[in-house]
Structures are given as structure tokens and as C-alpha cells.
Amino acid sequence: MRSLDAGYSALVTGASGGIGNAISRQLEMDSNCAKVARLSRQENGFDLTDENSVQRAADMLKSNEFDLIICATGALTIDGMGPEKSIRQISQNAMMAQFAVNAVGPALVVKHFVPLLAKKKRVIFALLSARVGSIGDNALGGWISYRSSKAALNQIVHTAAIEVARANPLSLLVTVHPGTVITQLSDPFASDHPRSAPDEAAKRILRMLDDLTPHHTGGFFAYDGTTIPW
């Protein structure tokens, strides 16, 4: 990434997923990147729904300073429960599970990993959200739990960005809509929507983050850099 210092260090959570793995690969191929740390349930037992797990991972990495952190975790179907088509299908357990993975978990990642960001220089902390988390862009309804959890994530990151900017005005914390990507998450819901390969999606996300400035911190952006309404 051209906007970060030469020899920058990166951390990717959710690194075994389709998008997270692709982002990790792109960073590993970047000659400007000196180190890529990968966290995932599959690779090292990282579980963002368990604060003890998140804290252990942060403690393990506390001797590092990261210039780039990307939280690439998220879920649309959990324990066989997919998105609702109607308010009649709302399930307390399913909704709580969506919030645990898509909102509370990433909030814990922010809590424990913001202290690992480099100080007094440009740093980027990006978390994957989804366009359907936009309230202003919602014209179809449905998917109530997933939409709400992603809307909550956007608020969490916007609020955290304000606090982080007070300590480091060069910081950039944002949520990102990656587009519809060929992954296990999107496979059951692809229908006629065009989907991007994970590597192409990863390239677009990293290019977009490169182009954002601290002025954009706290924002919600699509992979092409356009601002998505709250």
C-alpha cells in the first residue's frame, strides 16, 4: 500500500475466510509490507465472540505495532439460520447470534487492537460491513437481524473513530462494503447478482483504503470509494 510507510505491518482477523484470506495474500505480495499477522478460528483458534480469546490474541501481539488492521469477519447464516424475509420470522436467538458475530465481536476487536496501532503516523483500521446495513439505502426490507447488526457495527466504528482521532489525528477507522464476493457467505444468496472473485475484491478494498484520508475517518464506504448513506 503506497499510503503507508515502507515496511509497514498488517494484521488481518478472519484471515481464513474468503475475503480475509484474499486480503492477507495481497498484503503478503506487497513489497512494501514487512509483516502480515493472520488471526482466525481455523488457524489459531481466534474467536471474536469470546472476549477472552480476543484479549489473548492482543496480548500475544502486544510487542508489535501495526500500521494496518483489517477485521474481515462476519456471518449471514449462523447455525443454519439464514436472513429473515419477514418480521414474523424474527428469532431472539438468531438475532443475538447475528449481533454477537457482526457487531459485538468487531467492537471487542476494536477495543483490544486499537492499542496495537502505531502512534503519531498514518494508520488504517478497516472493518467489513455491508451495504444492507445502510438504513437510508434500505428499500427492500427483510434481513432484519443482519441489517441491524451491520448498522450497529457502522455506529460502533464511527464512534470509536472520533475517540481514536483525538489521540492520533492521522488515523483512519472505517467500515467497508466489499461488494458481492464469491464466498461461502454469499453462495446461497447469489441469485442474479454479479459477484467478484475474492482476490479482485481484496485488491479493490486495499486500493480504496489507500485513497482515503484522515478526513474520511468514521465513514462507511463501498469498495469503489463511494460513501454509503447511514
Q: In the predicted model, is pLDDT for residue 172 greater than 80?
A: yes
Task: Quick: pLDDT tens for 42-84.
Answer: 999 999 999 999 999 999 999 999 999 999 999 999 999 999 9
Q: What is the CA radius of gyration of the chain?
A: 17
Cα(155)–Cα(86) distance, integer angstroms: 24
Phi, psi of 68 (to 5 degrees): -140, 125
Has domain 8-222 been given CATH number 3.40.50.10540?
no
Give the model's pLDDT for residue 2.
Answer: 96
Cα(3)–Cα(209) distance, integer angstroms: 9
Contacts of 66 (CB under 8 A, 6+ apart): 9, 10, 11, 37, 113, 116, 117, 118, 123
Give the model's pLDDT for residue 222.
Answer: 97
Cβ atoms of 186 and 179 closer than 8 Å: no
Cβ atoms of 38 and 45 closer than 8 Å: no
Cα(132)–Cα(188) distance, integer angstroms: 16
**pTM (2 decimals)?**
0.94
Pairing type for strands 220-222 and 171-177 reads: parallel
Confidence of residue 189 (pLDDT cuts 50, 70, 90): low
Give the model's pLDDT for residue 191.
Answer: 62
Confidence of residue 195 (pLDDT cuts 50, 70, 90): confident
Give the strand order in the sheet containing 220-222.
33-39, 8-13, 68-71, 123-128, 171-177, 220-222
Percentage of residues of the chain with pLDDT beyond 90? 93
Closest alpha carbon to 128 in 17, 2, 10:
17
- Average pLDDT value over all residues in the chain: 95
Please state the rounded mean pLDDT for residues 207-225.
98
Confidence of residue 141 (pLDDT cuts 50, 70, 90): very high
Please state the rounded mean pLDDT for residues 108-127.
98
State the residue for C-alpha cell 487492537.
Answer: 113
User: Domain spans of the chain?
Assistant: 8-222
Secondary structure class of 33 (helix, strand, coil)? strand
- Give the CA-trace dihedral at 203, 114, 119, 206, to 10 degrees: 10
